[in-house]
């Protein structure tokens, strides 16, 4: 039998793409998701792309008894924990909801891993932990800044919880992947990001504007101290990001990790401005986007991008997808969703 991986939040945006890459690499995938911000369509999409139907369990990771059954009834050595809330603004308005869900779900998983002797865990962290970094690009050793939102704080706290659990339990090994800005969709257009309500993130807002669902994209600030005045980010294709999870699970499964707790940046290493991204989208898809410059958005940092040396050298991973292909895939997915 092949190796199995439990993927929490596997019906979501990054989770579903990771499930596809895991299956394509020979892993058996068990998905747990409470469908609070996703739907079964992504499970169907995974099955269509891979020709393999992953086992799907509808459950909430905060529900310890339900999760205990998952551990009792399924063999797996590795867990990838995606299940979490991710809206920055909502986390400011409803902090308790974020702390409860994002921390309790992870603690529950970690406790069960110890209890059931399951070794490897991968955690979805974020470049948000670096905040407004003084040195760019950021390496894994760049000091984290105090979080500016409860969402960001849950990422920092969960990293610390993982580090401490690994330190206290010889039989657990963990990796935190710090994602930069994940964008795009699977080239098949069968899975992608499905924001509920008005999107907060740039690319879903762009594709919905192109589709006529939003009237006009606001570019938040053109007066930053950057080459064209708009913010700089490191946009990572979601399929490249998904592949990073596969190599990280491989590393843990093969015991190749140097320390039992490791952190890796997952980005392209290339800063891209908001204007460049908008232009790139227009060119890749031969269309014109309705946009205007608006005031800065509270909480945005001027620039952040990754030094990816560690992931390149230790994981043997690098981002491969071309930005215009990524932006084409994002648009194909938006059109598919609207059909
Ligand atoms: C945001 C979160 C970050 C989280 C990440 C997850 C904030 C402050 N940060 O990152 O904590 O980990 O999403 O996906 O919310 N922009 C526009 N117009 C828009 C939307 C965005 O100009 O309508 C600009 C932003 O100012 C920013 C860039 O596009 O410069 C990217 O924004 P976004 O996609 O929201 O990501 P981040 O803010 O970088």
Confidence of residue 257 (pLDDT cuts 50, 70, 90): confident
313 CA from centroid of ligand 1 (Å): 28
Residues in Cβ contact with 329 at an 8 Å cutoff, skipping those fewer than 6 apart = 184, 185, 186, 187, 189, 192, 237
% the chain with pLDDT above 70: 99
| pLDDT tens for each residue of 171-211 | 999 999 999 999 999 999 999 999 989 999 999 999 999 99
201 C-alpha to center of ligand 1: Å?
A: 5
- Which atom of ligand 1 is found nearest the CA of 152? 11
255-272 mean pLDDT: 95
pLDDT at position 2 is 58
Residue whose CA lies nearest to ligand 1 atom number 18: 219
Residues 291-330 pLDDT 10s: 999 999 999 999 999 999 999 999 999 999 999 999 999 9
In the reported structure, the alpha carbon of residue 166 is separated from the centroid of ligand 1 by a whole-number distance in angstroms of: 31
Q: Cα of 297 to ligand 1 centre, how many Å? A: 9
Does position 226 have pLDDT exceeding 70, yes or no?
Answer: yes
Respond yes or no: is residue 13 known to be catalytic.
no
Which residues are CB-contacts of 235 (< 8 A; sequence separation ≥ 6)?
180, 181, 182, 183, 203, 268, 272, 277, 323, 326
Residue 303 CB contacts under 8 Å (≥ 6 apart), including other chains: 136, 224, 226, 231, 232, 233, 271
This prediction has a pTM of: 0.97
* Torsion, CA 125, CA 127, CA 133, CA 138, rounded to 10: 100
Give Rg (Cα) of the chain. 19
Q: Are 305 and 136 in contact (CB under 8 A)?
A: yes
pLDDT band at 216 (very low <50, low <70, confident <90, very high): very high
For the chain, first and last CA: distance in Å? 39
Query: Is residue 338 predicted with pLDDT exceeding 90?
Result: no
Q: Which of 146, 158, 233, 237 to mutate to test the pocket of ligand 1 (most atoms within 8 A of CB)?
A: 233
Given this model, what pLDDT does residue 290 score? 98
pLDDT in tens, 44-60: 999 999 999 999 999 99
pLDDT digits (tens, 9 = 90+) for 66-102: 999 999 999 999 999 999 999 999 999 999 999 999 9
Atom index in ligand 1 nearest the CA of residue 233 equals 39
Cα dihedral angle (65, 67, 68, 74), rounded to 10 degrees?
150
Computed over every residue of the chain, the mean pLDDT equals: 97
Atom of ligand 1 nearest to the CA of 231: 30
What number is the average pLDDT over the span 212-225? 98
Give residue 1's pLDDT.
43
Nearest CA to ligand 1 atom 30: 231
Q: CB within 6 Å of ligand 1 — which residues?
A: 86, 88, 126, 128, 152, 181, 200-202, 205, 217-220, 231, 233, 274, 297, 299-300
Q: Which of 15, 155, 200 to mutate to test the pocket of ligand 1 (most atoms within 8 A of CB)?
A: 200
Choosing from 151, 179, 224, 261, the catalytic residue is 151
Closest atom of ligand 1 to 296 CA is: 26
Arithmetic mean of pLDDT, 210-215 = 97
**Separation between Cα atoms, residue 235 and residue 277, nearest integer Å:** 9
């Amino acid at each position: 039998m092949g190796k199995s991986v439990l993927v929490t939040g596997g019906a979501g945006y990054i989770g579903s793409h990771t499930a596809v890459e895991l299956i394509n690499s020979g892993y058996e995938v068990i998905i747990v998701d409470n469908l609070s911000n996703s739907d079964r369509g992504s499970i169907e999409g995974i099955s269509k792309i891979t020709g393999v139907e992953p086992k799907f369990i509808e459950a909430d990771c905060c529900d310890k008894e339900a999760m205990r059954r998952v551990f009792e009834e399924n063999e797996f050595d590795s867990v990838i924990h995606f299940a979490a809330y991710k809206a920055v603004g909502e986390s400011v308005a409803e902090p308790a909801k974020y702390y409860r869900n994002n921390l309790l779900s992870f603690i529950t998983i970690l406790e069960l891993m110890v209890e059931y002797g399951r070794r490897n865990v991968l955690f979805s962290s974020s470049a948000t932990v670096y905040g407004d970094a003084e040195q760019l690009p950021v390496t894994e050793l760049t000091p984290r800044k105090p979080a500016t939102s409860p969402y960001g704080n849950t990422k920092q706290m969960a990293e610390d919880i993982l580090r401490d659990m690994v330190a206290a339990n010889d039989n657990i090994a963990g990796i935190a992947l710090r994602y930069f800005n994940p964008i795009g969709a699977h080239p098949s257009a069968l899975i992608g990001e499905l924001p509920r309500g008005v999107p907060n993130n740039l690319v879903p807002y762009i594709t919905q504007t192109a589709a006529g669902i939003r009237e006009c994209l606001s570019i938040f600030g053109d007066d930053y101290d950057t080459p064209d005045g708009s913010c700089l980010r490191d946009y990572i294709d979601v399929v490249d990001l998904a592949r990073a999870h596969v190599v990280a699970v491989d590393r843990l499964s093969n015991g190749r990790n140097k320390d039992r707790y490791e952190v890796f940046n997952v980005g392209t290493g290339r800063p891209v401005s908001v204007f460049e991204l908008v232009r790139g989208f227009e060119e890749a898809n031969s269309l014109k986007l309705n946009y205007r410059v608006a005031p800065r958005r509270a909480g945005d940092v001027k620039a952040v991008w990754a030094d990816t040396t560690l992931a390149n050298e230790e994981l043997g991973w690098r981002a491969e997808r071309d930005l215009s292909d990524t932006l084409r895939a994002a648009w194909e997915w938006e059109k598919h969703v609207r059909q």
